[in-house]
Structure 1
Amino acid sequence: MSGEPGDEVPGLDVPVGMFEDIEDLKAAVARLTAQVTALTGGGAGQQGEALADGAADDEAAGGDPEDEEGDPPFILLLDSPEYDDELRGLIEWVEGVLVPGYLAEPSADARWCHLWADHTVAVARLHAVWLAWQELTDPASCGYTGPSVWHRDHLDPALRELRSPSGPFTACTKGEYQIAHRLPGLVPSAWNTEA
């Protein structure tokens, strides 16, 4: 039957790069599968089997399970000395990139506190913006539109909140003749029932 004209296999011109793309997609699926497995607590089978399978998936994906633990979590969830290390990195970024590049002269409508690291709300918001910046300024992972997304979705809203007249820097001023720095008071919490 193989000699009949209808049994011929058509010639396909497949670009060589497509095979590389398929392999990249397979690796990405393997990485995501390993992450889902790790986040959901493994899966069926004994604990040793789940660990062995997860390690095999990570090796196949070119990843190391310990690398995932190295990603910095949100700064307010850290304790010392991790908090201090993360804050040092954040201060370097804010003072080296954000302040000179994005913050014009402060005014009554756009406040900025030179002691911003004393304001917990500012640390939290700026850390979130910094984490997004680290991810969205890498063309390898986000393409060339990442910086635009970072500006629109992260930087602009955070600066609007921080520098607004009702933001955390409301009572802070730094002028030619006056410097004032006041942290907001603590709000009573329902969790604290001290009498």
Structure 2
Amino acid sequence: MPDSPTGTPAGLSEDVEDLKAQVRALTNQVNKLTQPPAADHTDQAEDQDRTNEETEEGAEGWQFPPFILLLDHAEYGAELRALVEFVEGVLVPGYLDEASADARWCHQWTQHPVAIARLHALWLAWQELTDPDTCGYAGPSTWHRDHYDPCMRELRASTGPFQGCTKGEHQIAHRMPSLVPSAWRHAGSC
């Protein structure tokens, strides 16, 4: 599926909306099947309306995972410290071999906003998919296939964020963006 200009896979937003509609329909169906039969059809209709309203309110109150580049300064610092522990404690010693022209890595990765964003997303997936209570025992395999492999292909590619970095020599300016566009911010953040 080709990507849109924003880098999101084409059709993803339609798929998400379809999934939301399916969840609402299934929730209504479960509620209908688990409620005792009502003698009065008016009560059933009111109950159904209440269920629909609760489902819609739940969808509006949905909590999205934090996008690290949009956090305020204090939250960003705390999240970055935790991310550094994951990257330096798990990824670097366990997964990242010697850097090469085909598989780049920058020891100053925290100075690359794209790397921070991708590694943070990878870490969020790790937290969810390595817990058998939330994902079963296939979670680590899913994490590798769906998250780690694509993330590393993008980060370590010759055209990735580390393209100007070579072992011991950096040819790009390592910097963090000073201002995140206001359109990216969530209401009430920062």
Instruction: Report how far residue 76 of structure 1 moved.
Output: 1.5
CA offsets per residue over residues 79-119 of structure 1, 9 Å max, x none? 11001100000001000000000101100110000000100
After superposition, residues 10-29 of structure 1 pair within 5 angstroms as none
CA distance, structure 2, for counterparts of residue 38 and residue 101 of structure 1? 39
Aligned 8 A contact 1:136 1:147 in 2? yes
CA distance, structure 2, for counterparts of residue 101 and residue 34 of structure 1? 45
Match of 1:131 among 124, 132, 154: 124
CA distance, structure 1, for counterparts of residue 54 and residue 98 of structure 2? 48
Runs (4+) of structure 1 moved beyond 3 Å?
33-36, 183-186
* Structure with more contact order per residue of length (Cα contacts < 8 Å, sep ≥ 6): 2
Rate the CA distance shift 1:72–1:89 in 2: closer, same or farther, 3 A: farther
2:66 corresponds to 1:76 = no
2:121 corresponds to 1:107 = no
Rate the CA distance shift 1:82–1:35 in 2: closer, same or farther, 3 A: farther
Larger Rg: 1
Rate the CA distance shift 1:37–1:115 in 2: closer, same or farther, 3 A: same
SS of 1:81's partner is helix
2:170 corresponds to 1:180 = yes
Instruction: Report how far residue 173 of structure 1 moved.
Output: 1.1
CA distance, structure 1, for counterparts of residue 171 and residue 95 of structure 2? 22
CA distance, structure 2, for counterparts of residue 184 and residue 117 of structure 1? 9
CA distance, structure 2, for counterparts of residue 140 and residue 34 of structure 1? 26
CA distance, structure 1, for counterparts of residue 88 and residue 163 of structure 2? 20
CA offsets per residue over residues 1-45 of structure 1, 9 Å max, x none? xxxxxxxxxxxxxxxxxxxxxxxxx9xxxxxx978524436xxxx
CA distance, structure 1, for counterparts of residue 92 and residue 55 of structure 2? 36
Rate the CA distance shift 1:73–1:112 in 2: closer, same or farther, 3 A: same
Instruction: Report how far residue 185 of structure 1 moved.
Output: 9.1
Structure 2 segments unaligned to the other structure (5+ residues): 1-33, 35-52, 182-190
User: 1:81 corresponds to which letter in structure 2?
Assistant: A
* TM-score after normalising by structure 1: 0.58
Instruction: Report how far residue 181 of structure 1 moved.
Output: 4.9
- Show the counterpart of 1:146: 139
CA offsets per residue over residues 52-96 of structure 1, 9 Å max, x none? xxxxxxxxxxxxxxxx97x85121121110011000000010000
CA distance, structure 1, for counterparts of residue 162 and residue 135 of structure 2? 33
Q: Aligned residues: percent identity?
A: 61
Structure 1 segments unaligned to the other structure (5+ residues): 1-25, 27-32, 42-67
Aligned 8 A contact 1:117 1:123 in 2? yes
CA distance, structure 1, for counterparts of residue 171 and residue 55 of structure 2? 44
Rate the CA distance shift 1:106–1:172 in 2: closer, same or farther, 3 A: same
